[in-house]
Structure formats: structure tokens, C-alpha cells
Amino acid sequence: MFRTHTCGELRIDNNNQTVTLSGWVAKRRDFGALTFIDLRDRYGITQLSFNEEYNQQLLAESRKLGREFVIQVNGMVTERSSKNAKIPTGDIEIVVESLTILNSSLTPPFTIEEETDGGDELRMQYRYLDLRRDNVRANLMLRHAVAKHVRGYLDQKEFIEVETPVLIKSTPEGARDFVVPSRMNQGEFYALPQSPQTFKQLLMISGFDRYYQIVKCFRDEDLRADRQPEFTQIDCEMSFVEQEDILNLFEGMVQYLFKQVKGIDIGTLPRITYEEAMHNYGNDKPDIRFDMQFNYLTELVKGKGFPILDTAECVLAITANGCANYTRKQLDELTEWVKRPQIGAKGMVYVLCNADGTFKSSVDKFYSQEDLKQWAEKCHAQAGDLILLLSGTTKDAQKQMSELRLEMGSRMGLRKKDEFKALWVVDFPLLEFDDENNRWHAMHHPFTSPKPADIPLLDTNPGAIKANAYDMVINGVEVGGGSIRIFNKELQAKMFKTLGFTDEEARYQFGFLMNAFEYGAPPHGGIAFGFDRLCSLFGGADSIRDFIAFPKNNQGRDVMIDAPSVIDAKQLKELGINSQI
Amino acid sequence: MFRTHTCGELRIDNNNQTVTLSGWVAKRRDFGALTFIDLRDRYGITQLSFNEEYNQQLLAESRKLGREFVIQVNGMVTERSSKNAKIPTGDIEIVVESLTILNSSLTPPFTIEEETDGGDELRMQYRYLDLRRDNVRANLMLRHAVAKHVRGYLDQKEFIEVETPVLIKSTPEGARDFVVPSRMNQGEFYALPQSPQTFKQLLMISGFDRYYQIVKCFRDEDLRADRQPEFTQIDCEMSFVEQEDILNLFEGMVQYLFKQVKGIDIGTLPRITYEEAMHNYGNDKPDIRFDMQFNYLTELVKGKGFPILDTAECVLAITANGCANYTRKQLDELTEWVKRPQIGAKGMVYVLCNADGTFKSSVDKFYSQEDLKQWAEKCHAQAGDLILLLSGTTKDAQKQMSELRLEMGSRMGLRKKDEFKALWVVDFPLLEFDDENNRWHAMHHPFTSPKPADIPLLDTNPGAIKANAYDMVINGVEVGGGSIRIFNKELQAKMFKTLGFTDEEARYQFGFLMNAFEYGAPPHGGIAFGFDRLCSLFGGADSIRDFIAFPKNNQGRDVMIDAPSVIDAKQLKELGINSQI
């Protein structure tokens, strides 16, 4: 037997017991006649003590142990003279009676500690050592806990987990598919699923009623900072439901997760429409940990001779409470910030609401104190506050002001990692127009149901149609989204037509789904959550990468195993393909 | 709201309640002034009643409803005059007050009943309808239950579920990989994992201590009857364990699963060595629901002038209890059966142990009653039993007799689908010789640890080395297998060398694992269970196909979605590959 206990479980109650432990040498501290070793495993750290008086030879052996050696020790649990209140085993140490080196270790290329000296590239190359760090392992244990409680909740709600296939059919719509050449059907390819969307709809047609799956999905996209070619979804679908049923059930799930995993009561989720979200926050995934909603000053600022505001389609303002003490330097820097190409504003107007009730603005030349007082009233600004204005087309001004609002929220410390505010955004537009290709795109996907009252608009004004679609947003991050689906074959056909599919294209890509709709499809709808993102949010981190055991880098490479890689000519030949390289 | 109740939950206690139900029309029965409809959903069937006296128009409408129409009804729960004890809702029916057709249905191409008239091909093409059949859905619900209890057990044992990557590196060893061309790294390919073997070993090196995953794996093999290109494993690994620890823990898991899922106490699992299994059953996955072990008559039968038995390397016999009444016709048919090319025996000798204590054999010309009596004693045969003999090389005789034993077990009704006998087979050989390629192969995989005492044999007699490897066998099916792993770099290098890898090949394919072994690898071992197979076993079925929601056929095709399929030239070009077709 390699151990009687783990390195995390011995307490003062175990005093005088003889125990066997195994683990890694995390630290060694030598003092004259004494050596202490911190022995580490997944469960914790236990101090080992080697004493010259007790056993000289063992002391000498202990001093040959390097960092990350794997050892097994036998010894007596003994109360420490100087206790360590920081760790649960801190009251005791093991006076070692025998020592076995199970494996040696080279010196790791970076320190195995929360704050490591290893850079990203090095850590990824030695991911198996990086995963030894307490915080990285804690992230993956958090992930396990979230998955477990998701399953617990959905099981209790009578959902059935069904595995859908990974080797499926390529569909040109949407993002690029990863494909898999078929050896047995040469010249043909499988595709890896971007989501199990059609399969979960088929399961509803099959009468499964409530389906879920925590499932890998794949997208061959050029990777931005925080995207992975393979990612995990919590994928759900329900039959005989309306939007309200789905919102209630999954609001319950998120409340349950926060309670179970974080011990937090996040309360009832506000519901706002897409229009409200865009109007008040310029963003369909608003961060509502802080207020700072948009104020529309377009009319109020007109006619005072300042051409930029006079001619703007839209003038927006936000109020930064307590920021009237911003210096000229800070305000100039903020102006530069909004003018960066990533934001793209032409300039920024500010109004400082002084403590004495006067105002100081960057447009004092055009606007009187009385004008500015009206602005302040419209913006609910008090003495001590700062008002920031941006102008332009409505679309641009909303987008830029959304960025500025988030930036101010961050600067003012209003976006705390340990505070969580969730909401639903509902009533999304069904379609968005793609100027480049001069065609309509489904905002969610082509199976999303329009609101029944809006169906006639498909012929007259597609852009005005609202969908039975919803997103769950937490702390400004879209963690989940879904919709009520079209379950009527004629409506689905009309939808494909509006999206510019020919009958043939629709039949080729979705023929099996269209066929299935002929045989009694129930009303149904669903939702999918980005599981990696949800976990990183629970963990208070910005990046999903440290919540994935073996992530890929921005070039889609796993630098540890060195994949992708070349394969031999024989393998290619069997598959019936040539590499053009 | 589409329903107040499901079709499975109303009872006599709900009498006189007004309810709303939604579901599928499973059956319609018209009688003069009355129509009954069985309304079906996942949860059950509820009878709807339409009555001319109560509402003539509704009765007329109900008669337009075809099979598999999706309807919603509102009505009053009413006690039935003639109750149906076969279904839980059989005491009541719904007297329908309003009816909405939610969706119509074409007539399904086969009946949606347990015993369907649809053939395999048709059922697969319309899998979404096939999945409506109670028994198929029950299989998938069983699968869900097994997964849930696997997780429950392993969670409780402090295992952490970690997702390992799907896009990994191709390794020529073993079965063929499915590969995925990389668009961002042209000329290079990912491979889909045949198992997460190396990743789980890396997780042990990372100190995860106890890992599991219910995970999709992929093998591009020519498909035999019951293989799928994508299949699911319960994959597990533990650190600081010996074989005994793993056997105990997973014996516990299987006991737990049988208890939770089937309500069966399967008791302690016998452990037999590979040698014993081969000796007694000619099979490393013996079906021990019945005894009928091999008897070795090689010496006993010699010297009586029957050349075939005189010269055979091995003469085996089994005793079929109570089969002395087999007719000549039956015995001839059995002889033909063992001579089929799939079995390959040259012939079969039988001895009938008559009720009067005499013997009648197919070799009476050579063997006296006294000889046959000795055979019977050696075979523990009693009056009324049948003894069957096969001969040949030891290897062939064992293999053929194993088939005959299983066949006799089936014919004698000794292999009951609802009886479960599990065991461990241990002490497998480490290596097996591949005559064709004149090299050693790892019997499990190249990371399997030899028994420490046998390590010196690597240089002298590799074939004699026993491994710390084990299989779990239930009812003659290998449901799981695993091993203690090599965790020492030098031993692993030596193992690769024995298997004929050059240093370069080993480094190219497993370099990252070899590197990881440099940094403090703990002793570890694991096991993987075939999840599809385990579920079909629990379900008492021979085929795994009906325990997979959307299986592929023997050509690796999904006939429902028609995958694999051709992809456009643009997509191929982006990937930097040509199809040779």
C-alpha cells in the first residue's frame, strides 16, 4: 500500500499514529540538525520532519531530495511546536521513520506555485507540470463541480443525457467545419459538429421531451484571444414548452449552480428586451453589476452653435458618479482612449459637476451653465459627478459609448470579480442584414421561431421581426443563448427561403430535419451554455484557457504533444487524399 | 401552457380534475358514438375519450386524427368503466372538452411499437421515429441511468472528471486513426483519440490522483457486426495504487451499478488468471453463468489405436449435463456445427452416458466400456450426461472447444439474459508475438507494467512475462480492462525497444510522455470500460446499436443524415488537400 492517508487529511486527532504518505517534494528547508519537507498531493500539504538526533542517515538521505521528487514515507504523526494556521494540517508533522524514493525529478522549468515564474508558452509546453499548481488544479476541480451540479439539477428535472454523434455531415452554413476524410467512403468526409442543434431537435421529434448533454463542439475559426477550436457546451432542449418555461427552468439552474458552487444567492434574473439593452447599454450583453445607463441628449444639445453635436444623429451621455475630481490629464487620456481605432470615436465631451453646483465642460464656449444644468438633470448627475458625451450615428455612438461605459466601470472598480449579476436579454431580432453579401442572416440560427404575431412580416419587412430568442448574460458575458424553434415544415421552408437557400440547398443540408418535420414534430425549444466560459466566470477569470486541461494556442496547436503534425504518405493514400503542400 | 400533466402521471386521485395534455396519437379506436385515443409521450399513455352525446363536433374532429399527429387536449379526468391494469394510468381517461392539432403527421413507414414491422435499414433511415418506440427509448434511458450512477460512484470516491482533447496527434501504433486536416497548419493533421490513454497518464503526473471521464473515442476500423467508428468509454486512472486497489474500487463500482440500475446483488467477483481462463474455458473472457469446464484427456485417450486422438497434441472434453438423450441427428448436426469454417474443427467425438451406467460413443470401435468409464470419471460425468471431445493443437482445441462450450451453454438455456456473472481475469501476458510481422506486440498497450519479478525476462524470454493487467468480464463479454502503468522512464524506454520502436519513433510518438516521466511520475494505473457494451449488457441485448441514439451502419454511414458526404472544392482548397477520387 502506497499510503494510509492523503497529504491533506491528518489533524491533531491523529497524534501518535503511525502513517504512510506518498507525494511530491514541494519544498525542503534545511536547518543544522533538522530538515523539513513539505509533501504535496492533490489533497494538501503535510510537513515531514527529519532530525539528526532521531536518525542521522535518514536526515542525510532527505537532503538529497530535490523539488518534485516522488517519495513515500512512513512515520509518526506528531504535534508541531510551531503550528501553521494557514494549512489544515498545520498542527502536526510527520517524524519520518523510513523513506522511499518512488521517482526522481529533473528541476522543473518553472516553479510549481500559484505565482509562477513560467511564461505562457513554457507553461503550455509543460502543461503536466503547470497542472500541478494549486490554482490551475482548483480551476479544473471547479469545472468538475459545475458539471456535477448541472447534471444534478437537470436529472432532477427529468432531463435525459443523450450522446449525439461526433462524426456528422458538413454544412456550409455558419462557421467552418473541421472535416474527417472517410477511408471506407473515399472522396467523402465527415464533419465535426459545431453544435448538436439538429440532433437535439430530432430527439424532440422522437419524444425524448427533455434532453441535455455536456458536449464537445468544434469550430475551425481563426482563433481570437479567447477562442478554442474545440469547446464544451451544456446543450439542452425541451418539448411542449413556451419561452417562459425555458427561462424559468434555466434561471433555476443558474441560481442552483451559484448556490451550490459559490454559496451565492443571485436572486431573480431581470429580463430586458434586446431593444432596451441596446438603448440603455448599447450592448446586447450588458454588464449590470453597475448602472451608468445611457442618456439621450440628442435634442437637448441642439441649436447652441456647436456643429458636431448639432448635426449628430445621436448624442449619448453617461454619468460617472463621484468622478468630478478627474484631472485635465485624466480627461485628455480618456479622450485619447475613445479615439483609439478599436473604439473609433471622433472625440469626447465632458462635463464636471462641481461641488459648488457649477459646471466645467469641454464645450463651455457653446453651452451656458443653465444648458449644462439641463444636461445634468437629464443625466441624473449630482454635484461631484462626471458626465461623458459621445456622438455620431446611433449605431456607432451606442457601440462606442458601451465601450466607454465598461471602461469607466472598470476604472471605478465597479466590475468586481466576486460579484455576479445575471439577466435575460429577450426579443432578439430574427434576422440581421448582411450588407456585404446583400442577404439576410439568421441572428441565432435558421431554426429560430419568429414571434407568431410577426410571421406576416416575413413577406414585407423581415428586419422588423422579433424572435422567440433569448440570451443569458452574466457580468457582461453571454453565457447562454437559445430559442423556441420552428416546428412547422412550411414555416421552416419559408425561413430557409428568406435566408436565400434554394430548395435544393435546404434539402441537401437539412433534408433529414425537414423530413422529420413531416412526422409529428412537437413544439420545442432549447438553450446552450458555453461551459468553458461559465466555468471561467465562476472562477473569476477572464480567460477560458486555464479552465481547460489541455488547451490549444492561438494557432490551434497543442504545443505539449505537438499537434497537428504531418502523417505518413501511406495513411494519406488509404484515405484517398493528397496534401497540396 | 402546453400541458398541466404528462401522459404518464394521472391516477384515480385526479378524478374530476380538469387537465391539459399534449402528446402523440398512438392509437385511435372508433366505436359508433365513441372514439378512444391513446395519447403518448415519453412518460406514458393516457386514454382520451370522445363521445357523441357529449360533443358531436369534437367526435368528428377526433376521427380525422391520424397516427403520430401531435395534439393538445383539455378535458376532465374521469374514472374508466373498464380499467386497464397494464398501464399506470389505466384507471382513468380524459373526457375531452377541446382539441388542438399541434402538428399533423404522414403515416410512419413502420409501426411505432415494440414489435415493429420496420427492417433495420428503414429504422435507421427514420431513426427519429425508431426512437419513439418504447423499448428503444428505454435503452437510452437505461444508458442515462448507468452514466449517472457511474458518476455518482466515482464522485463519491473523489474522482475528478477531466475532459481531454479530441483534436490530438496521430500515432501509427494500434488501430487506424481518423484524421482531421488543419487549415491553419496546412499539410498537418490532427487525429481523433482512440483513447485518452496518454492524457490520463499525464493527469496522474500532474497529481490529479483520481481521474475519470465518460468519453467518445474513435477507431477507423473495418467494421464488424457490432463495432462503431465512434464509441464511448468510461475511462479511469488512479495514482499511488497497486493492482489490488484498482480491482477493489472498480469491483465496487460494478456492484453499485448492478444494485442501483438493476436491483441485483452480483456479489464478490471471482479472480482467475489468464492461464486458468485459457486452461478451463479456452477463452480469456469466459462466460461463467455456467460451469462446463474443460477436461484434459490427452494422455488418457492414447494407445487404443485411434490415430486422431493418439497423435493429437491436446484432447479436450466437456460434459453437458442431462444431454445423454441427444439423438443421432442432433449429434450429427453438432458435429457439422464444429466443422463449419468459423469454428474449424476436423471432427467431434461424443460419449452418451446412459441411464443404465453403460456408454455409447462415436468411437466404440477403439474404446471399451471401461475406457469410457475412465473418461466419464475424469469429466465428472454422471449417467444422463453427454461428453463432447475435440482434439488438435492446444491452441486450436482450446479455441474450438470454447466455441462449442458457449454453443452448448446457449442450447441448454444456461446463458440467461437476466442472470449476471462477473469476474476478473488477471495476470495477462505482457506481450504476444506477431508471426506475420515477426515482432512482439503489447497485449494491452505499451504502457502496461510487467510484474516486477518478471522484468529481467525482457532480455531473455519476453513471451513469459506476466503483466499487471486485468480485464473485467461479465457474461462472457469483456466490459473493461486496464493495467498498472510503467512510471519509470528507463523501463518505458526498454519496453518501446522490445516492441521494436526505434528511439526516434518512440520520441516522435510519445516524446511528451517520456519527457513528463522525467519530472516525478507517481506510480499509477487505471482501467477503461466499454460504455456502449456495458449498457447493452445491462439491457440484456446482444447489439450495442440500439443503445446508441444515432449509430452508424457497417459501412460507417449515418443513413439518416447521409454522412459522410462530398464537400465542396472551396472547402478542400482551404484545407490544402485534394481528393484522389
Of B162, B512, B567, which is closest to A549 when you measure between CB atoms? B162
Measure Cα distances from A346 to A281, A339, A341 in Å: 20, 6, 10
Q: Is B35 exposed, middle or buried (0-12, 13-18, 19+ CB in 10 A)?
A: buried
Asked, as a colleague might, if the bond just before B564 is cis with ω within 30 of 0, I would say: yes
Question: How far apart, in whole angstroms, are the C-alpha atoms of residue A485 and residue A286?
Answer: 25
User: How far B429 CA lies from chain A's nearest CA (Å)?
Assistant: 24
User: According to the model, what pLDDT value does residue A173 have?
Assistant: 65
Here the cell at position B350 is 461424443
User: According to the model, what pLDDT value does residue A581 have?
Assistant: 61
Mean pLDDT, contiguous 10-residue spans, chain A (581 residues): 97 98 97 95 97 92 96 97 95 97 96 88 95 95 98 98 96 83 92 95 97 97 83 98 97 98 97 98 97 97 95 97 96 97 95 96 96 97 98 97 98 96 97 87 90 92 95 97 94 89 84 91 98 96 92 92 89 84 61
Measure Cα distances from A243 to A422, B1, B52, B523, B546 in Å: 18, 10, 37, 52, 33
- pLDDT surpasses 70 at B173: no
By C-alpha distance, the chain A residue nearest B521 is A103
User: According to the model, what pLDDT value does residue B46 have?
Assistant: 98
Of A179, A223, A516, which is closest to B181 when you measure between CB atoms? A179
User: How far B449 CA lies from chain A's nearest CA (Å)?
Assistant: 15
Here the cell at position B159 is 474522482
What are chain A's domains?
12-103 (2.40.50.140), 137-272+422-548 (3.30.930.10), 290-411 (3.30.1360.30)
Of B104, B185, B571, which is closest to A556 when you measure between CB atoms? B185
Q: Tell me if B105 and A518 make a contact (CB, 8 A cut-off).
A: yes
Q: In the structure, what pLDDT confidence band is assigned to residue B512 with cuts at 50, 70 and 90?
A: confident
User: According to the model, what pLDDT value does residue B570 have?
Assistant: 85
Judge whether A178 and B165 are in contact, CB under 8 Å.
Answer: no
User: According to the model, what pLDDT value does residue B116 have?
Assistant: 87
By C-alpha distance, the chain A residue nearest B520 is A105
Q: In the structure, what pLDDT confidence band is assigned to residue B194 with cuts at 50, 70 and 90?
A: very high
At residue A424, φ and ψ (nearest 5 deg) are: -100, 135
Asked if the C-beta of B185 comes within 8 angstroms of chain A's C-beta atoms, the answer is yes
Asked if the C-beta of B127 comes within 8 angstroms of chain A's C-beta atoms, the answer is yes
- pLDDT surpasses 80 at B345: yes
Q: Which ipTM score applies to this complex?
A: 0.94
Here the cell at position B52 is 357523441
Of B103, B519, B549, which is closest to A105 when you measure between CB atoms? B519
Q: Tell me if A128 and B516 make a contact (CB, 8 A cut-off).
A: yes
By C-alpha distance, the chain A residue nearest B138 is A208
Identify the three-state secondary structure at position A232: strand
User: According to the model, what pLDDT value does residue A393 have?
Assistant: 96
User: According to the model, what pLDDT value does residue B373 have?
Assistant: 97
Asked if the C-beta of B8 comes within 8 angstroms of chain A's C-beta atoms, the answer is no
By C-alpha distance, the chain B residue nearest A137 is B208
Measure Cα distances from A554 to A122, A222, A223, A559, B246 in Å: 15, 8, 5, 11, 39
User: According to the model, what pLDDT value does residue B505 have?
Assistant: 83
**For B486-497, what is the mean pLDDT?**
90
Q: Tell me if A549 and B70 make a contact (CB, 8 A cut-off).
A: no
Q: β-pairing, A469-474 with A422-426? A: antiparallel
Of B68, B230, B565, which is closest to A170 when you measure between CB atoms? B565
For residue B553, the 8-state DSSP code is: -
By C-alpha distance, the chain A residue nearest B175 is A571
User: How far B451 CA lies from chain A's nearest CA (Å)?
Assistant: 16
Stretch 163-182 of chain A: residues touching chain B, C-beta under 8 Å: 163-170, 172, 176-182
Name residue B179's amino acid: V
Stretch 141-160 of chain B: residues touching chain A, C-beta under 8 Å: 141, 143-144, 147-148, 151, 155, 160
- pLDDT surpasses 70 at B515: yes
Here the cell at position A262 is 459559490
Q: What is the pLDDT of residues B79-136, one digit of tens each?
A: 999 999 999 999 999 999 999 999 999 999 999 998 888 888 999 999 999 999 999 9
Question: How far apart, in whole angstroms, are the C-alpha atoms of residue A489 and residue A491?
Answer: 6
Here the cell at position A452 is 407568431
Size of interface A-B (CB pairs under 8 A): 357
User: According to the model, what pLDDT value does residue B508 have?
Assistant: 81
C-beta atoms surrounding A337 within 10 Å: 16
Predicted TM-score (pTM) above 0.90: yes
User: According to the model, what pLDDT value does residue B319 have?
Assistant: 98
User: How far B314 CA lies from chain A's nearest CA (Å)?
Assistant: 42
Worst-scoring range by mean pLDDT, A93-102, B5-14, B144-153, B556-565?
A: B556-565
Question: How far apart, in whole angstroms, are the C-alpha atoms of residue A393 and residue A159?
Answer: 46
Using a CB-CB cut-off of 8 Å, the residues of chain A touching B206 are 127-129, 131-132, 137
Average pLDDT, chain B: 94
Asked if the C-beta of B208 comes within 8 angstroms of chain A's C-beta atoms, the answer is yes
Here the cell at position A231 is 469547446
Where on the phi/psi map is residue A438: left (φ > 0), alpha (ψ -120 to 50), or beta? left
